[in-house]
Amino acid sequence: MMRVNKRDIVEVVFELPDGNIKIHPAIIISGENYYEAEEAFYAIMVSSKPYNAEYSVELTNEKVTTPFSKPSYAKCHLIQSFIASEIISKRGAVTLRAFDEIKGKILDSLFG
């Protein structure tokens, strides 16, 4: 089983709002306590599409430990739960500063 932490970027099979299912990078947003209680974690989708900018945070090279090959956006309104066996691969993490920005955008997106 792959060890993952809050802020990690992983690849998972993500169900899109239109019902399509695609492999996408995702940022783990839940912490260790949730994982220990449920053996699952929450993640938000990362996309190269700039749609719904009001719900997105651009992931520039300064915001990630491993840069993306094309412009990428954290989709702060697209949240799903996953279990560890659903992780296809791990590809770095977002910085602490970027994670704080993403948390704020999630709150604005969902409750604003």
pLDDT of residue 111: 92
pLDDT of residue 2: 65
- Please state the pTM of the whole predicted model: 0.95
- Asked whether the predicted pLDDT for residue 1 surpasses 70, the reply is no
18: number of CA atoms within 13 Å, CB side? 2
pLDDT digits (tens, 9 = 90+) for 56-107: 999 999 999 999 999 999 999 999 999 999 999 999 999 999 999 999 999 9
Q: What dotted CATH number matches 8-111?
A: 2.30.30.110
**Bridge partner list, 25:** 11
pLDDT digits (tens, 9 = 90+) for 14-58: 998 899 999 999 999 999 899 889 989 999 999 999 999 999 999
- φ, ψ (nearest 5 deg) of residue 94: -95, 155
